[in-house]
Amino acid sequence: MRVIICGAGQVGYGIAERLAAEGNDVSVIDTSAKLIQVVGDTLDVRGFVGHGSHPDILEAAGAAQADMIIAATLYDEVNIVACEVAHALFNVPTKIARIRAQPYLQPHYRDIFSRNHMPIDVIISPELEVGEMVLRRIALPGASDVVRFAEDNIVVLAIECLEDCPVVNTPLAQLSNLFPDLNATVMAIVRDGKLLIAHSGDQMKTADIAYVSAPKEQAQRTLALFGHEEPEARRIVIAGGGNIGLFVAQAIEARQPRTNIKIIEASLARANHIADELRRALVLHGSALDQKRLNEAETQDADLLVALTNDDQVNMLVGVMAKRLGCKSNLVLINNPNYLDLSKSLGIDAHISPRSVTISRVLQHVRRGRIRAVHSVQEGRGEIIEAEALETSPMVGATLREFDLPDGLRIGAIYRDGQVLKPDGNVRIKPHDRVVLFATAETVKQVEQMFRVSLEYF
8 A C-beta contact, residue 143 and residue 229: no
Q: What is the pLDDT of residue 115?
A: 67
pLDDT in tens, 93-119: 999 999 988 788 877 776 777 767 788
d(C-alpha 252, C-alpha 250), whole Å: 5
Q: What is the pLDDT of residue 135?
A: 94
Among 312, 328, 344, the domain boundary falls at 328
Give yes or no: residues 113 and 8 share one domain. yes
The answer to whether residue 362 scores a pLDDT higher than 60 is yes
8 A C-beta contact, residue 387 and residue 453: no
Task: List Cβ<8 Å contacts ≥24 apart for 191-200.
Answer: 195/378, 195/381, 195/382, 195/440, 197/407, 197/408, 197/409, 197/410, 197/438, 197/440, 198/172, 198/410, 199/172, 199/410, 200/171, 200/172, 200/173
Q: For residue 246, is it within any domain?
A: yes
The answer to whether residue 455 scores a pLDDT higher than 70 is no
Mean pLDDT for 335-347 is: 85
Helices (H) and strands (E) in the chain, counts: 14, 22
pLDDT band at residue 33, thresholds of 50, 70 and 90? very high
Structural domain containing residue 398:
357-457
pLDDT band at residue 453, thresholds of 50, 70 and 90? low
Give yes or no: residues 162 and 201 share one domain. yes
pLDDT in tens, 279-326: 999 999 999 999 999 999 999 999 999 999 999 999 999 999 999 999
pLDDT band at residue 363, thresholds of 50, 70 and 90? confident
Q: What is the pLDDT of residue 290?
A: 96
Mean pLDDT for 182-200 is: 94
Identity of the highest mean pLDDT range in 163-167, 231-235, 303-307: 303-307
Residue 332, beta-bridge partner list: 307, 351
Q: For residue 316, is it within any domain?
A: yes
Mean pLDDT for 148-173 is: 92
Give yes or no: residues 48 and 9 share one domain. yes
Q: Global pTM?
A: 0.89
The answer to whether residue 457 scores a pLDDT higher than 60 is no
Q: What is the largest CA-CA distance in the chain?
A: 68
Give yes or no: residues 90 and 36 share one domain. yes
Domain count, the chain: 4
Give yes or no: residues 381 and 445 share one domain. yes
